[in-house]
């Protein structure tokens, strides 16, 4: 069995990036923040600082696939962001299929009685938590793949 690895999950959007992290035991995922984008260099620097503070060993990025499983422009943008983050951090980047996470996050907010106009303040952070929870269901799958790469 693999030892727990601390990771940061990011729900990368054009305007905002939701951020979540796991606890030291790998049992829970917590929302950290919703970051308003300030340009790639500033964004990367910000996430490097959070990773350092939290002792993160990897980043998990939600990969927005189309419903048929193909990757569109937003997935390309996410992979470009991931490549820049990996180059700057030296940490592994894992991609998790994030289809419907934003919709699930909106549904959760609606069920808790939060008004639709207030969703954008937290929906990306909640989507990042859902992305991280998907990763946490089987982290060995991602690390095995990373370690097997040349």
The tens digit of pLDDT for each residue in 25-46 reads: 888 999 999 999 999 999 999 9
pLDDT of residue 20: 97
Buried b (16+ CB within 10 A) or exposed e, 36-65: eeeeeeebbebbbebbeeeebebbbbbbbb
Does residue 117 have a pLDDT over 90? Answer: no
Pick 17 or 4 by higher pLDDT: 17
C-alpha separations of 127 from 57, 101, 120, 144 in Å: 21, 5, 11, 25
pTM of structure: 0.82
Locate the domains of the chain by residue range.
7-148
More confident position, 2 or 17? 17
User: What pLDDT was estimated at residue 115?
Assistant: 58
The least confident of 114-118, 128-132, 136-140 is 114-118
Residue 14 is inside which H or E element, if any?
A: none
Judged by average pLDDT, the poorest of 31-45, 59-73, 90-104 is 90-104
Q: Does domain 7-148 have CATH number 3.30.420.140?
A: yes
């Amino acid at each position: 069995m693999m030892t727990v690895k601390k990771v940061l999950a990011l729900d990368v959007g054009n305007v905002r990036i939701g951020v979540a992290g796991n606890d030291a035991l790998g049992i829970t995922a917590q929302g950290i923040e919703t970051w308003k984008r300030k340009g790639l260099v500033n964004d990367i620097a910000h996430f490097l600082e959070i990773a350092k503070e939290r002792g993160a060993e990897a980043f998990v990025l939600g990969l927005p696939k189309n419903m048929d499983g193909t990757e569109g422009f937003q997935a390309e943008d996410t992979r470009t962001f991931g490549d820049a983050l990996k180059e700057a951090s030296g940490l592994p980047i894992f991609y998790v299929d994030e289809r419907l996470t934003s919709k699930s996050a909106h549904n959760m907010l609606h069920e808790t009685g939060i008004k639709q106009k207030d969703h954008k303040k937290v929906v990306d952070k909640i989507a990042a938590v859902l992305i991280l929870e998907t990763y946490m269901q089987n982290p060995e799958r991602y690390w095995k793949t990373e370690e097997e790469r040349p």
